[in-house]
Structure 1
Amino acid sequence: MKHLKTVSHLSDNELLQRLSKEKDLRAFRDWQIITAVQTNKGKKAEETASVFGVSLSKVYHTIQQYNQLGPSWRTNRKRGGRREARSPMTLEEESKMLKQIENRHC
């Protein structure tokens, strides 16, 4: 059972302000985890995960990223989406190909 600790990039009040201004649900949950760990010293990771209904690895990862990168750790976090640089086809080409495949199977 590991006790978590945050690097004090922000004060407790600054964390609470950041938390209250957050609009994105995922970011809000992450800031909740960070705030809880920083303001409840001595709590175990398992307790924090249980309180917020997240996995233990989510708690560890969130704290690790915050400790390494500081308050701006979430600025470049995007989820999913097309990776244009790695996509060999444009959306139009992909759409055309999918229609051809659908027509063959009908």
Structure 2
Amino acid sequence: IPEAAPVAAARAGRSRTEDVVLSDTGREGVWELRVDTRHPTLFQRPNDHVPGMLLLEAARQAACLAAGPGGIVPAEASSRFHRYAEFGSPCWISAVILPE
């Protein structure tokens, strides 16, 4: 169960604190993944690693956080997973705004 406090739900594009999967790190554009294995949607079955769906949700929330107030609502993504994110090890999620 995550010990670090979640970012504000509205900043992460969520209405419920229980659905926030990131916590602040004090570094711009970088957040720590919060893993709550009790979440009914992100953990529908036991896993021995962090589920990909949780990582996708973390990326979506990071995009909202990076965009700032009045920012964006991510609707599409392309992703590849190169390795597992393991329980018990920190997982850092980063996002940057690219120039248009």
Give TM-score, length-normalised by structure 2. 0.29
Task: Judging by fraction of residues, say which structure has more helix.
Answer: 1
Give TM-score, length-normalised by structure 1. 0.28
